[in-house]
Amino acid sequence: MLRWILGGREAQGTVEKSAALFIGEEQPKNCFTEMQVLKGHFDIVRFLVQIDDLRFASAGDDGLVLIWNVETGDCLFALRCHTQQITAMTSYTFIRGGNAHTALLTASSDRTLSLWDPDSGNRVQNISDLQSSVKVQHVLQLHVFLFQCADGLDCVWKQVCSSFSVCRWILCVCSLMEVSVFQCLLVLVRLDVWLSGGNELCVWNRDFELQCKTVHHSDAGISAMVELPKNFIAAAMDKEIVIFKLNLSGSDIAVMAMRHLADHQDTIHSLIHINDGLFASGSHIGELIIWDSVDWTIQSYEHILWEEPARDSQSEFRLNPQKQIERSIQHMSSDGEYIVAAVGSGLYVYNVLTKSVVAYRRIAHDSNVLHTVLQQDGRLMSCSEDGSVRMWELQDLPLPAEPASSGFFGMFGTFGRSSKQTGPPAKKIPEVPGLRSLELIGDLIGHSGAVQMFLSFKEKGLVTCSTDHLLIIWKDGELQSQLRSLAVFQKLEENQEL
């Protein structure tokens, strides 16, 4: 399209390839007509966590945790403590003194876990809390521990002691030395405990006291966890899903592995909670398994192959047949009924109730999709290594525009391994009656590197974070303009210039 600029000698391949899904510049359904670029990180930004309606935290490889205001784009705080990249971050809401506090939990490659208070207003109180109400021996433990832990963490201790100056966090606790990096965090609000997963599973209470932990597992460690009913936890560990049980007897908590589910052929990349009865896991080779949360049986098994379909030359996909198509399930999200899975550079929407595929797009992005979210209004968003965020809409197919051949999906049908769920095999033909198309309705181009993740604040905007060290808040320009008008009139009123 810009070949006249590129002078004809430029690689046309990339242009051609992106043209496959080029939506054009006219995007009437794309309301994001305003952007705000947030600078602050010095390395890849990987995580975004919403704190409340107004604030979110970002973290990444530079070990920094930054707290932002989504409306103004101001950086509220920079939380510095981690010396290495942050591997997991989650928010942690708890009740203290009758008020709900939201704290941030972060885990880092420096083998530390931190709990941060994103409200600076509370820090004095929190610090005094630390010294009064929190058990003294705990602080002493922390003290001793911090001196054991050499790499630069004694400064953290100093911050705790010298209280008010820099720190905006309550506590910073290092796990035991032999523990490896925590790769995932899970907060069990119901039990008021939280779990950290790495080479072993640790259970902590609100005051950062280690309640119990499992024995050392494999080298791979726990990569993801979901909460299951009846105090069970499902944890993904390489090719297996391990079910743990938390035994609560009085104030003591014990954790033990109950079952190993080894149905996946390859490493599990994604493990999500669908609804009270189901959870799903996705593997490196495109296996998508829906599990029953209670008895841990397979409800549905899909193997997404993304095979090159036999098509006519009009096909919009023109790739080298030799090329191995990436079909790793990187990320999934669900609204309880639908699952959207990021499979390689494609998207796959699956209905867990009817156990049927709803829509798919084999090449939704030019490169691997890293994060995807299903929205309420039948729309979904995905972001990719190609640096773009794309918005999709599920539309009913007017006619079979994409005549998918039978070989398109490696459909093993739906079957249960357990005796209960020997559902009808019913080899589904891909031309499912309900098959809809996934239409691109807009894309957001701004980042110059892979978009790692995005976070939607509904009408307030959409935050994206990227390998290019930037965050971008995308906003509805019309709405922002109206808000600015209101602000103008408000200021006029304040200044009595009306």
- Write out the residues near other proteins by the rule CB under 8 A: 1-2, 4-7, 10, 15, 24-28, 30, 33-39, 72-74, 387, 442, 445-448, 470, 472, 475, 477-482, 484-489, 491-492
Q: Which is nearer to other proteins, 267 or 480 (CB)?
A: 480
HSE-up (13 A, CA, CB side) for residue 260: 8
Q: Which is nearer to other proteins, 10 or 52 (CB)?
A: 10
**Type of residue found at 129:** D
Min. distance of Cβ 120 from other proteins in angstroms?
A: 19
Q: Which is nearer to other proteins, 71 or 307 (CB)?
A: 71
Min. distance of Cβ 447 from other proteins in angstroms?
A: 8
Sign of CA dihedral 66, 72, 74, 76: negative
HSE-up (13 A, CA, CB side) for residue 240: 16
Min. distance of Cβ 446 from other proteins in angstroms?
A: 5
Contacts of 57 (CB under 8 A, 6+ apart): 47, 48, 49, 51, 65, 66, 67, 68, 89, 91, 104, 116, 118
HSE-up (13 A, CA, CB side) for residue 411: 19
Burial of 321 (0-12, 13-18, 19+ CB in 10 A): exposed
Beta bridge partners of 115: 105, 171
Min. distance of Cβ 36 from other proteins in angstroms?
A: 5
Do the Cβ atoms of 278 and 225 come closer than 8 Å?
no
Q: Which is nearer to other proteins, 111 or 447 (CB)?
A: 447
Residue-by-residue DSSP string for 263-295 = --SS-EEEEEEEETTEEEEEETTSEEEEEETTT
Min. distance of Cβ 442 from other proteins in angstroms?
A: 7
Q: Which is nearer to other proteins, 163 or 456 (CB)?
A: 456
Min. distance of Cβ 37 from other proteins in angstroms?
A: 5
Give the length of the chain.
498
User: Reduced to 3 states, what is the DSSP secondary structure of residue 133?
Assistant: coil
Q: At what angle do helices 136-148 and 154-161 cross, to 10 degrees?
A: 150
What is the rounded distance in angstroms from the CA atom of residue 333 to the CA atom of residue 339?
A: 6
**Backbone angle region of 271, left / alpha / beta, with phi > 0 → left and psi within -120 to 50 → alpha:** beta
Do the Cβ atoms of 427 and 413 come closer than 8 Å?
yes
What is the rounded distance in angstroms from the CA atom of residue 211 to the CA atom of residue 252?
A: 7
Q: Which is nearer to other proteins, 113 or 381 (CB)?
A: 381
Q: Which is nearer to other proteins, 25 or 252 (CB)?
A: 25
Q: Which is nearer to other proteins, 15 or 397 (CB)?
A: 15
Min. distance of Cβ 55 from other proteins in angstroms?
A: 15
Min. distance of Cβ 384 from other proteins in angstroms?
A: 14
What is the rounded distance in angstroms from the CA atom of residue 225 to the CA atom of residue 248?
A: 19
Min. distance of Cβ 2 from other proteins in angstroms?
A: 5
Q: Which is nearer to other proteins, 72 or 162 (CB)?
A: 72
Burial of 416 (0-12, 13-18, 19+ CB in 10 A): middle
Q: Which is nearer to other proteins, 36 or 125 (CB)?
A: 36
Min. distance of Cβ 166 from other proteins in angstroms?
A: 22
Pairing mode of beta strands 240-249, 232-237:
antiparallel
